[in-house]
Structure 1
């Protein structure tokens, strides 16, 4: 279903975005384990992955959550309660119609997949109905995406660098001055749940 616009925009978010890099798979396991079905929205995740080999990230994350986890496919429509992971060597983006799109455009912040293309495309599709999370990582990926999310009225959650295995990505996101929440990793999922269910 395409994102809604105009007067029928819901009060709560319509999608959760997650960006992570070094240390991110463990952080994703913890975050996703705290999201309980029936989750009313899809989750789109850009975790920096090695380009040169197949990934077992879906199997790893599936052991930690009751949500459905899969690698995103080009052109597919999203479903609530499903976690879509950017596949190796592809940016994960969202079309304005709501379908997912995979791109092999140039690396962003030396990474493909990267957070910024995901965040920037998602807010073009969903406007303010976005919750964007920046987790552990050693570079600045996600900072420009955070600015795009806030420019459209979305919500930004950043992992407290003190609880992050690598502080670079969270610190870059915090340095924008645009984070709505800076939270220990264990507190992010409960906050997402409250935001989604508050209405």
Structure 2
């Protein structure tokens, strides 16, 4: 039976984080999102820092939406999908732009999910949806707490559905998460959100 979610039209952006075990469910999510889905999506995914090419193409194989690695200070466009470049932190800034940096690793990671989530929470506040998938460390847990503190909506992949559950489990320990969903349920949530914007 399909779950029904209390979704309004107030949201302005989605941030998604993931690490080990997240690639497949995130590619499935991207494949399911309609081409004209209106909200910008920011992807902070752990990746090999010295491999500059191929990751975007792999994510985009089945996606109906174009996926790009933004430039520093790039303006955010409606409905666009932005992937944090290899070996760069990606932050969402007031004024509708993206900033990139090569500051120190956070949770042994660059890009850091926490940095992307925290900055997006500061920018979008209660109009942000944060989604955290499978991963092997605690990156993203503090970011999810920041989203929750600023009244955004928080979703984690069900640890039992995750290939590696350290990341969603850490988020659940850090704050009260709104929805704990399987990867298929996350897709259904986004499709219901899309339907809300069309009604």
Gaps of 5+ in 2: 1-7
Matches for 1:10-21 after TM superposition, within 5 Å? 11-21=9-19
Q: How many angstroms apart in 2 are the aligned matches of 1:108 and 1:197?
A: 36
Match of residue 88, structure 2, among 59, 74, 90: 90
Structure-2 separation of matches of 1:121 and 1:16: 12
Partner of residue 182, structure 2: 184
Deviation at 1:117? 0.4
* C-alpha distance in structure 1 between counterparts of 2:171 and 2:136, whole Å: 12
Provide the TM-score with structure 2 as the length reference: 0.90
Alignment match of 1:161 (pick from 147, 150, 159): 159
Superposed counterparts of 1:2-41, under 5 Å: 11-41=9-39
Secondary structure (helix, strand or coil) at the match of 2:130 reads: strand
> 1:6-85 alignment to 2 at 5 Å?
11-85=9-83
Per the TM alignment, residue 187 of structure 1 is displaced from its structure 2 partner at its CA by 1.2
Counterparts of 1:114 and 1:162, CA distance in 2:
24
Partner of 1:122: 120
Please provide the CA RMSD for this pair: 1.5
Q: Is the 2:144–2:175 contact (alpha carbons within 8 Å) kept by the matching residues of 1?
A: no
Runs of 4+ in 1 over 4 A off after TM superposition: none
Distance apart, 1:196 and its partner CA:
5.0
Question: Equivalent residue for 2:142?
Answer: 144
The Cα shift of 1:147 comes to 0.7
TM-score (norm 1): 0.90
Could you tell me which runs of 5 or more consecutive residues in structure 1 were left unpaired when the two chains were aligned: 1-9
In the TM superposition, residue 120 of structure 1 has moved relative to its aligned partner by 0.7
Is this contact kept in 1: 2:145–2:175, CA < 8 A? no
SS of aligned partner of 1:125: helix
